A and B are shown apart, each in its own frame.
Chain A
Amino acid sequence: MSLVINGNAVAGPSDPRVSLLDHLRETLHLTGTKKGCNQGACGACTVLVDGERILSCLALAVQYDGRRITTIEGLDAVGDLHPLQAAFIEYDALQCGYCTPGQICSAIGMVAEAQRGVPSHVSTDLAAGVTLTRAEIQERMSGNLCRCGAHNGIIDAIRATMAAEIMA
């Protein structure tokens, strides 16, 4: 089996127990994706699979044969940084930096979901299109914990960049 990580085909693990997260971190040495809980409760390990955000700690790598996986190391940069990465610095959307790659990957996946029209728990009208209000972004980002308390900066950074085109 093989995986396509940030555009490069790489071999999968021989041990089926290996999570996508551990495969990234320990075999491929792509340590930008973080392990916070290893049980699907914090979101630090969020990566994009074919553009959709998932938790790589709960993903057995063998299940992702042939899939395109994008990690924090593989985001489309404008110059050195993806615009959202730049906004995270500008809005001080991080402190310790440990949840940060997961927050950024999650936000990119979140915007794609919203553009596709996926409603959320706080959407008032399920049939209407999505408007990424502050509350909508907060709910959609709630799968990414932050303990330093950078929440305001994270939402501000997302609103300032990613959400602009789909906000009312």
Chain B
Amino acid sequence: MSIVDTAKQAAQGLVQGAMTKLVPLAPDSWIPGGRPDPLIDRKHGLIGTPLSRRDGAVKVKGEARFAAEFRHEGMVYAALAHAAIPRGRITEIDSAAAEAAPGVVLVMTHRNAPRMNKPGVFGSSPTAVGSADLSILQDDRVHWNGQPIACVLAETQEQADHAASLLHFSYAAEPSTTSLDEAKANGIEQGVFMGQPLLNRIGDAEAALAAAPHVVDRRYRTPRHNHNAIEPHAATILWVDGELVIHDASQMVTAQAQTIGAVFDLEPGQVTLTSPYVGGGFGCKGLWDHQIIGAAAAKLAGRPVRMTLSREGVYRVVGGRTLTEQRVAIGASADGAFDTIIHSGLSIMTPHNNMPEPFILGTRPAYACPNITLQVEVARMNMLANTFMRAPGEAVGTFALESAIDELAVDLGLDPVALRIRNEPDKDPTSGLPFSSRHIVDAWRSGAERFGWAARGAPGERRDGEWQVGMGCATGTYPYYRMPGAQARITLIREGKAVRAKIEVAAAEMGMGTATTTAIVGAERLALSMDRIEVGYGDASIPGAIMAGGSQQTAAIGAAIIAAHNALVAELLKLAGNDSPLAGLSADDVGSEDGGLAKLDDPDRRESYASILARAQRDSITVTEAASPPLEQLHWSMHSHSAIFCEVRVNAVTGETRVSRILGSFDCGRILNPKTARSQFRGGIIMGLGLALMEETQFDERNGRVMNPSLAEYHIPVHLDVPEIDVIWTDNPDPHTPMGAHGIGEIGITGVAAAVANAIYNATGKRIRDLPITLDKLL
């Protein structure tokens, strides 16, 4: 981080800090969500009805066009060459053979790349989403092993790949830090996440630990991970009259268009960035070097460029989750009441990014406790910038915390479910804020009953042939977020005596079901049937900025639609004029009902949208409105919760673990579409199974090189690893969120690794504290 960026981050932190102090004190009614969303009370509408995803047909037919499936006249194919040292300078480039190879159009290195501005690194401004604070192909410097250092364009992919393999580079290596021990020895700093230090101190946790009658104090380790979306990163890029067009795979179309536009001195309107389908994201489908290099090469060659990363290229260019070393210490009295919780440790990042894996986030609101110390520190290594990966922080933090609680339960001789319920807080123990909606105890009880938790035996007690059988559980958690900047554009189009509506949001659909839930929410809000709703998304030209991250997209869209709907009602009342049954009413008096507007307390005073538009001689009406500022998340402590139960079978001969049953009992506000929501929960849980049992990015500490950049050697769960996953939910609407909903995209992965580890302990009596729990650890 440069000094400037550090200062910016500090300034943002100050503003946020001030807001954090004032907003909690404001009356509820001043806060978005202070009055419950009327949709919460609508019990018989589309919300809560299982509906098939809208893009299902085009996807099962293979008709959905992904980023690497757009074509343009004269398009050439790109291939990248990557650095083979962790740090230093490129001293020589032998490109003669590559340039002479058949079909080659361009070999671009730092020597001939166009001059470009450094992309704004994530957090340096509200719109900056660059992955690292580094310029790209502008100098001879190598910052990580695998950094793209050249790009070849050729008429076919085969020709480009071949030519790239003919490039040879000489380097002057410089001292680098690629081992954890060295990184620690170089110095450890306080971790700062989104402008705020990852540090909480309440009471004196160490003193309380020393005095506590029952103590667990353990270290846990989690390795690096990669997202491994099945669609490799790709972009089809062209320049049209000095403007940039990118068919991308993006979780953040608007910010990405702005960041890449600034690299090329373009105004926001000069970048067209679309991303109608994203073949899996989980945090990785953002702006990385490949789009910028592809745009530069397209500019230099004057040809449209197809830039598709190879699978290895994804590992070299796109960062993953970084490693953590965590300590969890809990002191408790004999009845299980927590006196103290310490959750601290280290995560690794680079000199050129600022993303400590914030593994204490899930611990902050978790348990009632008078003494709490939570801290994430960081050390730096010369490596590819790490990034957000599904539930950054919570996914690995809950492994440590919830394993330690299980260890304490064993020590105390208490049921781990009872121990958790025993320590249920009545307000957020670190922020002091009231919870907006928290029914985790209900989730625990209903989950335990449905799973048959009572049948759990003592450690090592159950056996089926070679297989040792055990059960475990853990809490998962993920915050409710709503980021600022969302807008919605609603257009009503008159078609005879009816209307259809187009709802546009600058959001991304990576399979979460966003297009479907947006249609559901839009239909409910406008009181139109689903077949009258069209949803537009995945296009940076749509107003506003919405990120498919932090499990916040549905809330952001929901709040933007509320705002746009309010504006639409006001506009329609203006159009309605004095001849309308609605004449004289204000926007507060009316709502949408059955394809039109009606007075709230006198529904007979109504007029259809089509009638209003017809009388005004309008074919359509369009409104665009921004969502309210997301102050609710500073006023209440807002979280999704889960209770995860699992049963494992561990082979006594081989140490292999198979998860035979798993149940997620969720408390995530109101579920909008049970069908796609269940898939989201299950998907998170399955990624959690991978995290628990098999996933690790192998980073060679001798030279900082990722050594398993392949789906054959980086193991993710296959069909046979995945049991039938039972999912239930409380369905209690949060009175303070749009639609009463919470985010559900990341909660699923949280808690799973601990539930599996705890079940393995119950099966075998062996406590494994470093992930993944491979069979050799159980021999």
Question: Which A residues have a C-beta under 8 Å from some C-beta of B?
Answer: 15, 17-18, 22, 25-26, 29-42, 44, 71-73, 80-81, 85-86, 88-90, 92, 94-101, 104, 122, 134-135, 137-139, 141-155
- With both beta carbons as reference points, the residue of chain B lying nearest to A75 in the complex is identified as B61
Bound CA span A51–B711, Å: 26
Among A22, A86, A147, residue most surrounded by chain B Cβ atoms (within 10 Å): A147
Given A80-B57, A149-B679, CB of A139 within 8 Å of CB of B710: no
Please state if B719 and A144 are interface contacts (CB–CB under 8 Å).
Answer: yes
Please state if B157 and A22 are interface contacts (CB–CB under 8 Å).
Answer: yes
Residues of A within 8 A of B58 (CB): 97
Please provide the chain B residues from 732 to 750 with a CB less than 8 Å away from any CB of chain A in the complex.
748
Please state if A41 and B712 are interface contacts (CB–CB under 8 Å).
Answer: yes
| Segment among B225-233, B531-539, B553-561 that sits at the interface with chain A | B225-233
In the complex, given contacts A15-B156, A96-B229, what are 6 additional A-B residue pairs having Cβ atoms less than 8 angstroms apart? A37-B711, A41-B712, A95-B512, A96-B511, A98-B279, A151-B719
Question: Which B residues have a C-beta under 8 Å from some C-beta of A?
Answer: 52-53, 55-66, 68-69, 71, 156-158, 162, 227-232, 277-282, 308, 310-311, 510-513, 675-676, 678-680, 682-687, 710-712, 716-720, 722, 724-725, 748
Please state if A31 and B62 are interface contacts (CB–CB under 8 Å).
Answer: yes
Please state if B679 and A142 are interface contacts (CB–CB under 8 Å).
Answer: no
Please state if B157 and A26 are interface contacts (CB–CB under 8 Å).
Answer: yes
- With both beta carbons as reference points, the residue of chain A lying nearest to B59 in the complex is identified as A97
Which of A32, A134, A146 has a CB less than 8 Å from the CB of B61? A32
Residues of A within 8 A of B61 (CB): 32, 72-73, 81, 85
Bound CA span A90–B675, Å: 9
Please state if A31 and B277 are interface contacts (CB–CB under 8 Å).
Answer: no
Given A42-B711, A89-B60, A149-B679, CB of A135 within 8 Å of CB of B720: yes
Bound CA span A101–B277, Å: 15
Bound CA span A122–B279, Å: 31
Please state if B60 and A81 are interface contacts (CB–CB under 8 Å).
Answer: yes
Which of B679, B710, B711 has a CB less than 8 Å from the CB of A95? B679
**Distance in Å: Cβ of A111 to nearest Cβ of chain B:** 15
Residues of A within 8 A of B229 (CB): 96, 98, 147
Residues of A within 8 A of B65 (CB): 31
Which of B63, B678, B720 has a CB less than 8 Å from the CB of A92? B678
**Distance in Å: Cβ of A89 to nearest Cβ of chain B:** 4
**Distance in Å: Cβ of A145 to nearest Cβ of chain B:** 6
Residues of B within 8 A of A96 (CB): 229-231, 277-281, 510-511
Residues of A within 8 A of B71 (CB): 29
Q: List 22 A-B contacts (CB under 8 A).
A: A25-B69, A26-B157, A37-B232, A37-B710, A37-B712, A39-B711, A40-B712, A88-B60, A92-B675, A94-B56, A95-B679, A96-B229, A96-B278, A98-B66, A98-B279, A101-B62, A134-B724, A142-B718, A145-B718, A147-B228, A149-B685, A149-B722
Please state if A149 and B687 are interface contacts (CB–CB under 8 Å).
Answer: yes
**Distance in Å: Cβ of B713 to nearest Cβ of chain A:** 8
Please state if A37 and B311 are interface contacts (CB–CB under 8 Å).
Answer: yes
Bound CA span A151–B682, Å: 9
Please state if A98 and B280 are interface contacts (CB–CB under 8 Å).
Answer: yes
Given A36-B230, A149-B685, A151-B719, CB of A100 within 8 Å of CB of B157: no
- With both beta carbons as reference points, the residue of chain B lying nearest to A121 in the complex is identified as B720
- With both beta carbons as reference points, the residue of chain A lying nearest to B53 in the complex is identified as A92
- With both beta carbons as reference points, the residue of chain B lying nearest to A100 in the complex is identified as B59
